[in-house]
Copies of this chain bind each other. A is one copy, B any other.
Amino acid sequence: MSQVFNLRSLRPVNDWLARFEDTCRSRKIRLTAQRRAVFEALAADPGHPTVEEIYLRLKKNWPSLPLPTVYRIVEDLINLGLIRRVASENGPLRLDANMEPHQHLVCRVCGWMKDWRDPLWAQTPLPSLLSGGFMAEEYDVRVSGLCRSCADRKPKVKKIGSY
């Protein structure tokens, strides 16, 4: 019963690690130190990090770990259904170890992002068969807006022209 939660987000990180190990065993994927480290770093981070951010974090305690290895492991974890990509409009790939259904708040100015759960979306039924035979499986909802610090700052006018 000694459940470890990440204090910032109340993530059941131990559950996730157990699921990671179970999945590796049942899918006959080798449980290497590299894979565990990458998964742990993702599970502990509620901030939707990029591959490079994970790499830099791990590099502190593991200076020899190469970036391509992190990329390969991330790809594997996605295919195993242990983490997912976060949809965004630009910039490098962002990752999410939270596989529970949830929405995202995204700041349109600085890209700041936060998990958010609204019962509304849990209740909203998926249209089962839409136009042209499309088979809907799930909603991906992002609420775009301004985070507190960008809202406090004076609104800047985007500069066009003049390269």
Using CB atoms and an 8 Å cutoff, list the residues of chain A in contact with chain B: 27-30, 72, 76, 79-80, 84-90, 93, 105-108, 114, 116, 118, 120, 124, 126-127, 130-148, 151, 158-161, 163
Contacts and interface: CB of A to CB of B under 8 A. Distances in A.
A145 B141 contact: no
A143 B139 contact: yes
B143 A80 contact: no
Contacts of A148: 132-134
DSSP majority for the A interface?
mixed
A95 B79 CA distance: 27
B143 A127 contact: yes
A114 to B, nearest CB: 7
A118 B108 contact: no
A137 B146 contact: yes
A130 B116 contact: yes
Contacts of A141: 139-142
Given A79-B158, A90-B93, A151 B126 contact: no
22 contacts: A76-B160, A76-B161, A79-B160, A84-B89, A85-B89, A87-B142, A106-B140, A114-B131, A118-B127, A126-B143, A127-B143, A133-B151, A134-B146, A136-B143, A137-B144, A138-B144, A139-B142, A139-B143, A139-B144, A140-B141, A140-B142, A141-B141
Nearest to A79: B158
A50 to B, nearest CB: 12
Given A80-B160, A160-B76, A131 B108 contact: no
